Structure 1
Amino acid sequence: MLFKTTVIIGLGIIGGSLAGALKKFGVSERLIGITRSDAYKRAANIGLIDIGYPLDNLGSVLKDVDLIILAVPIRKICAFIPEIIPIVKQGCIITDVGSTKHAIIAVSNTFSREGVFFIGGHPMAGSEKTGFEAGSAELFQNRPYAIVKGENTPDEIVTKISEMVTKIGAIPIQLDSKTHDRIVAGISHLPQMLAIALMNVIGKENDQDKRFFQMSGPAFIEMTRIAGSSFSVWEDIIISNRLNVSNMLQNLTAELERLQKSVEKLSTKKDFEQANAYRKRLLNG
């Protein structure tokens, strides 16, 4: 196994799914869960983790572990890093699953300590649902998993975390924090904003005529699935990546305005052809 003892702080859908994956694919001998609520008790009861603790036990639990995974919102990750780094043993690896990376890596660089290694992580998997009950050990299968080095992250730590990612079925992709945040603004955060906008546009139409919802088929339901996402999850993402998200929204607005003109001129054939070609490239890798 890669790790003797792993601690996961936060057992939401990602933290819970990671716990299941690390256990199922033999990555860590012992799994400890730490949560703010009593979720650690429920997770231990079903065998998702070996043992759990509340947050106020942080210091005593973390002093002799090999891997710590921060599976909490971004601002909490940034708050945990300076608290955790001074108390862990030499050789400990700390990683996270935050949806943006630049702010997190900046904090880890500021509070770096010799012999303790931080490496950013972001599995491109999830759901509009919350809680470990909605998770799955198979959640990461064939999904990209971003790996972002800190200033002092040795190559051997990158290799070890990449091996962990591969063992749980994901595909490790290394990139820097700025590039990561720009890319996810387009492929993750923009679709979330688009789903919200689409849902609100049609929701307001439905307020005037309830047949809008009554006649909704799979296409509309699928495109608005993530409109059900929790703001408590997305608030930190938007705050930490607002410039990139705003830029992507500007790009989308310009494209929609151009598409509107194409519709008015009955000249959308090229738009469909271009989108079809991009879609094929996406699916073919």
Structure 2
Amino acid sequence: MEQLTFSFFGLGLIGGSIARAIRASHPYCFIRACDTDSSTLRLALEEGVIDEASERIDEENGMTFTDCDFLFLCAPVSQNDSNLRLIRKFLLSGGRTHSNCILTDVGSVKSTIHASIEELGLTSCFIGGHPMAGSERIGFQNSKASLLENAYYILTPTPDVSGEQVERYAALVKAMGAIPLILDYRQHDYVTAAISHLPHVIASSLVNLVKASDNEDGIMKLVAAGGFKDITRIASSSTVMWQQICLTNKENISQLLERYISSLEKVKDEIDRSDAAQLYHFFDTARSYRDSFIDASSGPIKRVYTINVEIPDEAGSLASVATLLALNHISIKNIGIVHNRESEDGVLRIEFYEEASIEKAEKLLGSRGYMVFLKK
């Protein structure tokens, strides 16, 4: 197997997760990383994720990038321009020409990086990358290879990149357990503005609305349960990252935000007029479209086969359910306690490998007196 060399400029949550996934899929590769945080580099070396580390790029005293097969820009989006200028000399000279190295990034906005790549004359080696995965937690210490599993990994190649290079990158993405999807960078920015950037703005605005509307005793905060926490979970993400995303993809976000505000004004009017038919249509169309997201035929990310089961609050209850299913040859993929009892009484969430297991488990547990709730 060919020994590949990977270099990372920035080793946070996403960069660290990619490095871990590469290490798992290519155990004999060579990985180097440059990061300003010495503790991050020390931890990555101790855990065997990387082989070489430096806190700066410097021909004499720091790290060079003359022999890269893949070079990942994983620092904050606002630093991409300065980072690119630092590494440009290594990509245009040295042991390999820039056409043999795939230069990529992991930012969720692509227009700005593609403009910089064109300005610097690096279009023959650049393929933008955006793993559609993340966590509210940040930093290398929270990175994990499994973060990329079954996640779409969008690739935005320049027109000058060869098809062979795109295939190489797509093969690497598949080896990491992710799903490659090739898009034009302009289309990428509009799509992600709708399904990623705008939701973060909405979640944060909703949290701020509740904060401003709550009384001195904090009753809203006290009783905020599963529904509110689910819809606002992403408001806990990196403040700096989302500030930068809004500044770099502002046209798309603003356009979609204007349409969203219009839709809110429309439903407000329907509520004010007590328009039962239109309100029903509003919720029904949203429910139907949302349910279609988990249709197994709609894409490579398969439906999650899950039920919730009400169990008594006593020792051994969870074990009893798991044992009952095992004795009847029903395989469990995942099982855990649900801490949200706002919308249903189920407190035990069970995930199966296949849809047929849901019906078997529902009948079996129902026959033993358990209350079972289907969970989408």
Query: In the superposition, relative to structure 1, how do residues 215 and 53 fare at CA in structure 2: closer, same or farther (>3 Å)?
Result: same
> What's the RMSD between the two structures over aligned residues?
1.8
* Structure 1 counterpart of 2:68, from 47, 65, 68: 65
Structure 1 pair 229–132 and aligned structure 2 pair: CA distance change class (3 A): same
Cα deviation, residue 120, structure 1? 0.4
Q: Identify the match of residue 174 of structure 1 among 171, 174, 182.
A: 182
For residues 234-282 of structure 1, what are the alpha-carbon distances to aligned partners after superposition, in whole Å with 9 as ceiling and x for unaligned? 2221111001111111111111111112222242110111001211222
Which residue of the partner structure matches residue 80 of structure 1?
83
Q: Which residue of 2 aligns with 1:210?
A: 218
- Which residue of 2 is the match for residue 95 of structure 1? 104
Normalized against structure 2, the TM-score is what? 0.72
Q: Which runs of 5+ in 2 are unaligned?
A: 299-376
Q: By how many angstroms is 1:151 displaced?
A: 3.1
Q: How far apart are 1:32 and its partner, in Å?
A: 1.0
Residue of structure 2 equivalent to 1:108: 117
Aligned twin of 1:20: 20
- 1:192, CA displacement in angstroms? 0.3
Q: Deviations over 1:15-74 (max 9, x none)?
A: 010111001122761111110111111211122212211124476421222211011111
Structure 1 moving runs of 4+ over 6 Å: none
From 163, 182, 188, give the equivalent of 2:171.
163
- Measure how far apart 1:209 and its partner are: 4.3
Give the equivalent residue in structure 1 for 2:44: 43
Asked if the contact 1:2–1:164 (Cα under 8 Å) also holds between the matched residues in 2, the reply is no
Aligned positions of 1:127-138 closer than 5 A:
127-138=135-146
56 and 194 in structure 1: CA distance in 2 versus 1, 3 angstrom threshold: same
Q: Which moved more, 1:201-210 or 1:57-66?
A: 57-66
Question: Which has a greater percent of helix?
Answer: 1
TM-score scaled by length of structure 1? 0.94
1:208-244 CA-partner distances (Å, limit 9, x unpaired):
4411111111111121111112221122211110011
Q: Secondary structure at the match of 1:55?
A: coil
Superposed displacement of residue 110, structure 1? 2.1
- Relative to structure 1, the CA distance from residue 2 to residue 147 in structure 2 (aligned partners, 3 Å threshold; closer, same or farther) is farther
1:272 corresponds to 2:283: yes
Structure of higher RCO (CA pairs closer than 8 Å, 6+ residues apart): 1
Counterparts in 2 of 1:97 and 1:3: CA distance versus 1, 3 Å: farther
How far is 1:78 from its partner? 2.5
Partner Cα separation in structure 1 for residue 248 and residue 57 of structure 2: 27
| Match for residue 153 of structure 1 among 161, 168, 178 | 161
Q: Percent identity of the aligned residues?
A: 31
Aligned to 1:126: 134
Aligned to 2:4: 4
Q: Structure 1 residues 147 and 49 mapped into 2: Cα distance closer, same or farther (>3 Å)?
A: same
Q: Which amino acid aligns with 2:147?
A: L
